[in-house]
Amino acid sequence: MSGRKIKFSLVYRDMWQSSGKYVPRVDQLVKVAPHIIDMGCFARVETNGGGFEQINLLFGENPNKSVREWTKPFNDAGIQTHMLERALNGIRMNPVPADVRKLMFKVKKKQGTDITRSFCGLNDPRNILDSVKYAKEGGMIAQATLSLTYSKVHTAESFVQLADELIKGGADEICLKDMAGIARPAWLGKIVKGIKELHPEIPLEYHSHSGPGFAMATILEVCRAGVEYIDVAMEPLSWGTGHIDLLAVHAMLEDDGFDVPAINMDAYMKVRSLTQEFIDDFLGFYIDPKNRYMNSMLIGPGLPGGMMGSLMSDLENNLASLNKWMVKRNKPQLTQDDLLIKLFNEVEYIWPMLGYPPLVTPYSQYVKNLALMNVMQIEKGEARWSMIADNIWDMLVGNGGRLPGELHPEIKKLAKEAGKEFFTGRPQDLYPDALDTFRKEMNEKGWDFGQDDEELFELAMHPQEYRAFKSGAAKKAFEEDLAKRRIEGGGINEGTAKPTSTEGTVADLKPSTMFIDVEGERFKVTVEYGSNGSAIEVKPAATLAAPLAQGPVKNILAPLEGKFYLTKESSETPLKVGDSIKVGDLIGYVEAMKTFNAIRSDVAGTVVEICHTTGVEIEEDDVLVKIK
């Protein structure tokens, strides 16, 4: 064991997105790259993937230019670059057609990304092995990922078996992705030993978040068990909801007798200084100071460090909404700590009932959202499960893949009552090829397909964000938002715990009919598109109302705050004035915390007024529709 080489990978993308969900601009990335190289201790650097490209688009920057310029210095220096992708979901939050997934790997390889780290939020090998196949066809190194979750159904044996299946299916490497940092050291050591006994030649890489506090011990254990690569962060963005610090890991492993590369400390200090400079420039306004703390309460619910930023924002917004409700009814208000503990307890309660989905994007968000919705409803005297969003139903019925555990009979009963059908086929089959549709759009608009079809890929992967980028609306909205944040202060720049959600900060931009979410942050733009990318006409409010009929009118109220949509798919027919509806008919949707919550009528009658245009922000108890 003594003297075995351990190599380091700097997760520079995830460093930022685990702290505040944002990354530096391309000019800043290019500025820091030579000094990362000069540190001399990194065999790999994570350059892109995850939310990287949506963020570029919302800054008003072309992500294809960013990836090419950011990866080039590392390519030239012989340092491998890698990206994170979500298998069926590609590099977004919802499923991606197979032809778009295939194009992604070809484009990313041409742009300079060497390795793809592919994970499925359900650990469904069918989804991961599709990515392995597509990545290798595109010329990339296919690193298949185990999304580590600790429960009675996630045994060491089950993860060894999954790794064995992925390697036999063509995976070049295995990543052990401890996205919540909850993997117990001895347990994970058994997994690594089990994989190495079956496949000693396959490189293993360990990725962990520091949040609950296990990671240092776990890193030592997995290195002793045979892991070759360790993901690390560095100051000022290590620890907290992020990753273990390079210097601490380096000293620990060196002391244990491992062969670790020397660190050029002059270059280290330059990278540290530049990273702080980027925070001071603007990124600090998007980093909640609470994300710099570790929290062992995360051991119980197992929520990943990467989502804690959006979680705290959700809590702040929902707490305000809940307390408004409490005040109206002369009930005692809750503190954020009250709500946080209730949420953690609810996650622990419902997670087994939902079939133990691994708590990783997007399913960690779905479990958290459902738990938070349950808490909100219970506090108001309503029943648990009274609000289950469509995205969550897709998870429960198998549209994204197989759940690791069995659904609780109560959940199966709810599915039956809601008329949901369970799907057991190959998930990709539910999402047909779509590139021809996007090619047609680009030709009609006269848009350049870009080098290696990279612009076509960007439109197909992120249609809403790409169109907003092309129109200039996204850049304008972001600049307005940043200007307001600079005036108001807050974020890590002020050293306060002020929430950094964009909630309410761009509400006065005109014209504006749509908001875009990227991993919990909201941006308002001047165009609106359906979830499949086709344009939807946004009618002015005046056309949505008719003269009120005489007699009593029933108001359908919003059960939660968020964005109101009449439809979420272009194939749906939106509600209109004059429609006759029955009890249980769909009114529309409220999108909150990245999930669509269907709103149904509890009364029969005729629609006499639709009170909001689609895509606008609404608050809880706002009147959505009036029915006579």
Residue 137: is its pLDDT beyond 60? yes
The amino acid present at 549, given as its one-letter code, is A
User: Quick one: average pLDDT of 428-435?
Assistant: 95
Q: Which residue has the higher pLDDT, 260 or 486?
A: 260
Q: How deeply is 157 buried, as exposed, middle or buried, from its count of CB atoms within 10 A (0-12, 13-18, 19+)?
A: exposed
Q: What span, in angstroms and rounded, lies between the C-alpha atoms of 173 and 582?
A: 55
| pLDDT tier, 327 (very low <50, low <70, confident <90, very high otherwise) | confident
Residue 517: is its pLDDT beyond 60? no
Assigned CATH for 541-627: 2.40.50.100
Q: What span, in angstroms and rounded, lies between the C-alpha atoms of 461 and 90?
A: 8
C-alpha separations of 104 from 139, 487, 544 in Å: 11, 39, 41
Beta bridge pairs of residue 545: 609
The pLDDT value given to residue 286? 87
Length of the chain: 628
- The DSSP result for 465-505, as a single string, is HHHHHHHTHHHHHHHHHHHHHHHH--STTTTS------TTT
Closest CA to 378 of 345, 356, 353, 354: 345
Domain residue ranges of the chain, discontinuous segments joined by +: 300-429, 541-627
User: Quick one: average pLDDT of 548-556?
Assistant: 68
**Angle, vertex CA 467, rays to CA 464 and CA 471, nearest 5:** 140
Q: What span, in angstroms and rounded, lies between the C-alpha atoms of 556 and 566?
A: 13
Beta bridge pairs of residue 565: 589
**pTM for the whole structure:** 0.80
Average pLDDT over the chain reads 86
The pLDDT value given to residue 533? 43
User: Quick one: average pLDDT of 406-433?
Assistant: 94
Of 206-215, 314-323, 468-477, 536-545, which gets the smallest average pLDDT? 536-545
